[in-house]
């Protein structure tokens, strides 16, 4: 099977090159025979990569340790689910995973759109194939997952224990899906530029794709945060590490695009900008891969340093140059059809939203690259950490939160004073009431007060939209509340899905601001002894060490600390935190001992206990106890965000055509119904 | 002023503020990132470089790690092959911290030549690669 996979990769390379060439030549020379050959090449490459993927999965599941990749990432006693996840846990396998996913998206895009966008499709298939072929080339020339060893070891190394976590089995593929699916919008953008078909056709074709890749990126990032939180044991979920930043960057530019594209649809503005955002997002996804795999920037997370980073750097430069050259070529054909008429308008709110998102992206990129930049400019590496990113991004984040409330409610073109009063009197009231209440409750952190006040503002705007929308339907169609609600959302999925996303964003902000109040306590305890930790809400936790026990598990030797938890001296439950020494089937230790954090989570705060180890030969044990307020809101905010995204892109009624038929009406659907 | 002009003005205001925040952020929170060799070269040039906050990236010397669980203090040596420094760190080390692993320590070099670290980050070649390699199994990366 493995050899078959290897052969499939080589054939995929050849057919990929053929498909690329025929696609572009076929499109430019108007030769439909070549164009359809390229289309078939897309399907064939997909099939070959599927064979290669199956080959690798088969080798993993059958423990073919003669294959270096299998021996490096799995062992006989690794649970089945994690054996499967080893497919994308290592460098080589993840390249194959990446290639098959892009090829799958490409083939699906081809099947869905081949009839509708005939002029675009040759270039779409050519662009997607060029990306896939690049990945296949990296594999066959440098990082072949099917490489064999000169001998067959009796057992493999096993999977890094930190990756043996349910979150970690889903987080990388989701992030890869997010990164890779940007390829499709990028391919359509390139196709629009090459073919000169720059009307809104290509925008319609990619609308769902952009939401899809945004959705995958969002879910991937939040899951990564969750994994870092429950698995790494440092008490937080976001450290502004270069690899985290690399996933955040395309998310920011895609978020900007999802907003600015509405301006192009409704008002024919921002055409160049939107093309630039799509190209930029694609380049940032490749840049993320380069950062993660080259080791040019030191990160706790990066893959082993290897030369393949430079493949990506060269690819990044070449594809960036080509795409922006195309954009420059079509520049004169991309004039705006309308002008910004007023600063008090939805266009202006969206423009500022885009500006803020891009400025955040720029500052994150700058901070991430600063070690390299400072070395070039001043000869010394200077690094910046979380204080830099927080100082810059907290004010920008609050401005963005404010615009999240303003954008959807303010009128297009020019908002009248009446419109402003009608839309914003309640949200502004909520903002002020929250602010006064929090100051009265003596909340000590100004940024947190700002965050919660703006959160109340945004939630009120969204609630008001739902309230008025449901009310209008009930009056007009005499519908009951649930029916009116369901139809309101169902018939305007993109819009109301967007509101749900906004609620998710608010919940995330609520959680982020909670971290301003986190507290740490360290303690050394003998069994029977206890330690107290004070919550920012005023109550006190007392943790009493009950016992330290040791036992064997399928692939690990576990030392477990059990603590009794008392809240204000009332017993509320047990917490367990573990140190695990992982072993392979020959009972040899693999990896360093890993920590399992004990977490007790509720809507208000998390009690987060790390067992750091015991003094040799005794039961005297060291713990770090962290109280993290409002972390719950981050995870559930992430879920609400994904739910909103799913509503927005659900196929059927209320989709693109219905949305684009409603042109710039003064205050959206509700006003249209009432007037 | 027309709307476009106002937008550009507003945008410039945001950019200016952010530019200021970024510049001051780098000035106030940026720290040097040095290898032991670079650090010792600097110290020789400039004695006042003791007790300056910095990050040092190096590899843990095999067998040098001593842990005192009771006081939660870890002492070890780091090297880049040229220069070497003893490091004292109080706190919980990450799971990946072990012999011959690449670490980044943040802290200050004391005048007695020991490096007092306030944070300790360890990287195991990568989070996706293995750290120790028992006999008979292949070494995948030699980074």
* Two tokens, residue A501: 């996303």
Same domain, B13 and B58: no
Same domain, B5 and B47: no
pLDDT reading at A665 higher than 70: no
Mean predicted lDDT score pLDDT of chain A = 89
pLDDT on residue B127: 40
Residues 6+ apart with CB under 8 A from A587: none
| Highest mean pLDDT: which range of A6-20, A379-393, A414-428 | A6-20
Cα separation of A430 and A425, whole Å?
A: 9
Same domain, B89 and B57: yes
Residues of chain B contacting A367 with CB distance shorter than 8 Å: 22
Among the candidates A126, A159, A192, a domain finishes at A159
pLDDT reading at A675 higher than 70: no
- How many folded domains does chain A comprise? 4
Minimum mean pLDDT range among A101-115, A246-260, B50-64, B123-137: B123-137
- Pick the residue of A369, A388, A406, A577 with the most B CBs within 10 A to test the interface with B by mutation: A388
Sign of CA dihedral A29, A33, A34, A38: positive
* Two tokens, residue B131: 């750290």
pLDDT on residue A610: 92
What CATH number does residue B73 fall under?
2.40.50.140
Same domain, A16 and A43: yes
Higher pLDDT among residues A661 and A413, named by residue: A413
Taking only the tens place, the pLDDT of each residue in A129-166 is 999 999 999 999 988 999 999 988 988 888 877 778 77
Could A303 and B128 be called an inter-chain contact, meaning their C-beta atoms sit closer than 8 Å?
A: yes
Residue B84 domain boundaries: 32-123
Could B123 and A298 be called an inter-chain contact, meaning their C-beta atoms sit closer than 8 Å?
A: yes
Could A156 and B137 be called an inter-chain contact, meaning their C-beta atoms sit closer than 8 Å?
A: yes
Q: B128 in a domain, yes or no?
A: no
Could A383 and B10 be called an inter-chain contact, meaning their C-beta atoms sit closer than 8 Å?
A: no
pLDDT on residue A301: 59
Same domain, A257 and A401: no
Residue from the list B7, B128, B140 with its beta carbon closest to the beta carbon of A68: B140
Query: Min CA distance, A183 vs chain B (Å)?
Result: 25
Residue A586 domain boundaries: 517-632
pLDDT reading at A668 higher than 80: no
Among the candidates A137, A159, A181, a domain finishes at A159
Among the candidates A159, A191, A219, a domain finishes at A159
pLDDT on residue A652: 65
Taking only the tens place, the pLDDT of each residue in A590-628 is 777 788 899 999 999 999 999 988 877 788 888 999 999
What CATH number does residue A131 fall under?
1.20.120
Alpha helices in A268-382 (DSSP H): 271-294, 308-330, 346-378
* Two tokens, residue A233: 């044991």
pLDDT reading at B135 higher than 80: no
Taking only the tens place, the pLDDT of each residue in A48-97 is 999 999 999 999 999 999 999 999 889 888 888 889 889 988 888 989 99
pLDDT on residue B77: 94
Could B34 and A381 be called an inter-chain contact, meaning their C-beta atoms sit closer than 8 Å?
A: yes
Nearest CA in chain B to A339: B4
Residues of chain B contacting A233 with CB distance shorter than 8 Å: 92, 94-95
Same domain, B115 and B90: yes
Could B143 and A304 be called an inter-chain contact, meaning their C-beta atoms sit closer than 8 Å?
A: yes
Mean pLDDT across A504-521:
94
Same domain, A178 and A241: yes
pLDDT on residue A81: 86
Nearest CA in chain A to B97: A592
Residues 6+ apart with CB under 8 A from A437: none
Nearest CA in chain A to B137: A153
Could B14 and A356 be called an inter-chain contact, meaning their C-beta atoms sit closer than 8 Å?
A: yes
Could A304 and B125 be called an inter-chain contact, meaning their C-beta atoms sit closer than 8 Å?
A: yes
pLDDT reading at B130 higher than 60: no
Same domain, B77 and B57: yes
Residue from the list B25, B31, B132 with its beta carbon closest to the beta carbon of A383: B31
- How many folded domains does chain B comprise? 2
Residue from the list A154, A384, A592 with its beta carbon closest to the beta carbon of B25: A384
Q: What angle do CA A596, A629, A622 make, to 5 degrees?
A: 35
Could B69 and A616 be called an inter-chain contact, meaning their C-beta atoms sit closer than 8 Å?
A: yes
Burial of A33 (0-12, 13-18, 19+ CB in 10 A): exposed
Same domain, B68 and B91: yes
Same domain, B36 and B24: no
Nearest CA in chain B to A85: B128
What CATH number does residue A618 fall under?
2.60.98
* H or E element at residue A57: helix A32-61
Query: Min CA distance, A387 vs chain B (Å)?
Result: 7
Could A341 and B123 be called an inter-chain contact, meaning their C-beta atoms sit closer than 8 Å?
A: no
Q: B110 in a domain, yes or no?
A: yes
pLDDT reading at A437 higher than 90: yes
Mean pLDDT across A459-465:
96
Residues of chain A contacting B31 with CB distance shorter than 8 Å: 382-385
Same domain, B16 and B72: no
Q: B12 in a domain, yes or no?
A: yes
pLDDT reading at A432 higher than 70: yes
Same domain, A302 and A233: yes
């Amino acid at each position: 099977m493995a050899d078959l996979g290897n052969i499939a990769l080589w054939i995929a390379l050849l057919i990929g090159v053929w498909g690329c060439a025929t696609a572009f030549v076929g499109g430019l020379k108007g030769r439909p025979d070549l164009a359809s050959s390229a289309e078939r090449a897309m399907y064939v490459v997909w099939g070959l990569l599927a064979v290669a993927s199956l080959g690798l999965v088969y080798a993993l599941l059958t423990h073919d340790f003669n294959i270096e990749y299998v021996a490096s990432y799995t062992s006989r006693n690794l649970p089945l689910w994690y054996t499967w996840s080893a497919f994308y846990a290592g460098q080589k396998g993840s390249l194959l995973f990446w290639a098959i996913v892009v090829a799958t998206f490409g083939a699906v895009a081809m099947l869905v759109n081949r009839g509708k966008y005939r002029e675009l499709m040759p270039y779409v298939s050519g662009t997607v194939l060029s990306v896939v072929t690049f990945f296949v080339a990296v594999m066959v020339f440098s990082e072949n997952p099917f490489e064999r060893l000169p001998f067959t070891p009796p057992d493999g190394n096993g999977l890094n224990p930190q990756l043996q976590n349910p979150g970690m089995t889903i987080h990388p593929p989701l992030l890869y899906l997010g990164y890779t699916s940007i390829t499709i919008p990028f391919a359509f953008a390139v196709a629009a530029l090459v073919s000169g078909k720059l009307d809104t056709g290509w925008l319609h074709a990619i609308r769902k794709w952009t939401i899809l890749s945004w959705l995958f990126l969002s879910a991937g990032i939040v899951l990564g945060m969750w994994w870092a939180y429950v698995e790494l044991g440092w008490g937080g979920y976001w450290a502004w590490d270069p690899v985290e930043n690399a996933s955040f960057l395309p998310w920011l530019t895609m978020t900007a695009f999802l907003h600015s594209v509405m301006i192009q649809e409704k008002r024919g503005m921002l055409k160049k900008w939107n093309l630039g955002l799509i190209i930029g997002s694609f380049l940032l996804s490749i840049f993320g891969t380069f950062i993660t795999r080259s080791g040019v920037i030191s990160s706790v997370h990066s893959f082993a340093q290897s030369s393949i980073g430079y493949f990506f750097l060269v690819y990044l430069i070449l594809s960036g140059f080509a795409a922006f050259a195309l954009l420059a070529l079509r520049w004169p054909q991309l004039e705006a059809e309308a002008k910004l008429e007023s600063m008090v308008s939805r266009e202006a709110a969206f423009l500022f939203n885009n500006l803020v998102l891009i400025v955040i992206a720029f500052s994150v990129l700058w901070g991430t690259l600063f070690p390299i930049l400072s070395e070039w400019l001043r000869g010394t590496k200077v690094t910046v950490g979380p204080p830099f990113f927080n100082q810059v991004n907290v004010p920008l984040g609050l401005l963005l939160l404010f615009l999240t409330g303003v954008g959807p409610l303010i009128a297009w073109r020019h908002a009248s004073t009446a419109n402003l009063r009608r839309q914003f009197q309640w949200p502004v009231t909520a903002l002020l009431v929250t602010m006064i209440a929090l100051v009265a409750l003596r909340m000590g952190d100004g940024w947190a007060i700002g965050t919660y006040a703006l959160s109340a503002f945004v939630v009120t705007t969204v609630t008001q939209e739902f309230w008025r929308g449901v009310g209008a339907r009930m009056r007009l169609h005499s519908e009951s509340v649930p029916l009116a609600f369901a139809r309101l959302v169902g018939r305007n999925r993109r819009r109301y899905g967007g509101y749900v996303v906004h609620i998710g964003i608010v919940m995330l902000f609520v959680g982020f601001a909670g971290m301003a109040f986190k507290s740490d306590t360290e303690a050394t305890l003998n069994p029977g002894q206890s330690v107290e930790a004070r919550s920012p809400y005023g109550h006190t936790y007392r943790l009493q060490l009950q016992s330290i026990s040791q036992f064997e598990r399928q692939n690990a030797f576990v030392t477990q600390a059990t603590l009794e938890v008392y809240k204000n001296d009332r017993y509320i439950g047990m917490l367990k935190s573990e140190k695990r020494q992982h072993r392979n089937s020959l009972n040899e230790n693999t990896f360093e001992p890993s920590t399992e954090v004990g977490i007790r989570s509720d809507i208000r705060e998390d009690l987060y206990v790390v067992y750091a180890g015991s003094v040799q030969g005794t039961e005297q044990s060291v713990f770090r106890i962290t109280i993290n307020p409002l972390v719950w809101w981050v995870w559930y905010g992430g879920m609400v965000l994904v739910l909103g995204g799913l509503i927005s892109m659900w196929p059927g009624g209320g989709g693109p055509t219905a949305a684009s038929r409603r042109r710039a009406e003064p205050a959206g659907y509700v006003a249209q119904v009432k007037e | 002023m027309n709307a476009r002009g106002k937008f550009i003005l507003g945008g410039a205001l945001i950019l200016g503020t952010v530019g200021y925040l970024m510049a001051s952020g780098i000035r106030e929170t940026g720290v040097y990132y040095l290898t032991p060799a670079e650090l010792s070269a600097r110290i020789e040039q400039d004695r006042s470089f003791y007790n300056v906050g910095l990050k040092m990236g190096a590899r843990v010397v095999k067998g040098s790690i001593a842990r005192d669980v009771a006081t939660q203090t870890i002492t070890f040596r780091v090297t880049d092959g040229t220069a070497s420094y003893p490091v004292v760190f109080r706190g919980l080390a990450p799971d990946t911290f072990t012999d011959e692993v690449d670490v980044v320590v943040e802290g200050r070099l004391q005048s007695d030549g020991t490096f007092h670290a306030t944070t300790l980050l360890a990287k195991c070649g990568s989070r996706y690669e293995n750290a120790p390699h028992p006999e008979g199994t292949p070494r995948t990366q030699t980074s």
